[in-house]
Amino acid sequence: MTGVWALLGALAVAGAIGVLLKAREGRISRNESVDLPAPVRDLLAPGVTLVQLSTTFCAPCRHAKVILSDLADRTDGLTHAELDVTNLPDVAAALGVMRTPTTLALTDDGTEVLRVGGVPKRDTLLAALQPHLR
């Protein structure tokens, strides 16, 4: 009987963690300014650049790429760039990235406007970016 209770407890904890992770998916946050690593600085373009940090075997990264590139194509002053950090763990660590995809919205001077962990929600992201677009 003790084993059943242990199993039920483990399932409850796993379920709670799953709900928490799902609630954080695509949430927009703001981060303190960090000194941008060179590979990220090299991607900056005039206006706002959406820098998508991805890894090789990340399925959600492909979905995020479709959303972000389409948004950039349809929005003046917005550019999308993708950086594969599979072999660049120091870049991910310097930026405080714990998961992929993570999208950073950076101005042309390197100021971080916002960041999104997971696949972004298109309309929410556009609304948050609107004050920063020229």
The share of the chain scoring above pLDDT 90, in percent, equals 67
Contact 113, 103 (CB under 8 A): no
In this prediction, residue 29 has a pLDDT band, given cuts at 50, 70 and 90, of low
pLDDT tens digits, 42-69 = 999 999 999 999 999 999 999 999 999 9
- How many DSSP H helices and E strands does the chain contain? 5, 5
Q: Which pTM was predicted? A: 0.77
Is pLDDT above 80 for 25?
no
Is pLDDT above 90 for 1?
no
Question: Of the ranges 2-16, 41-55, 78-92, 112-126, which one carries the lowest mean pLDDT score?
Answer: 2-16
Contact 96, 37 (CB under 8 A): no
pLDDT on residue 8: 72
Q: What is the overall mean pLDDT for the chain?
A: 86
Contact 112, 31 (CB under 8 A): yes
Q: What is the CATH number of domain 27-132?
A: 3.40.30.10
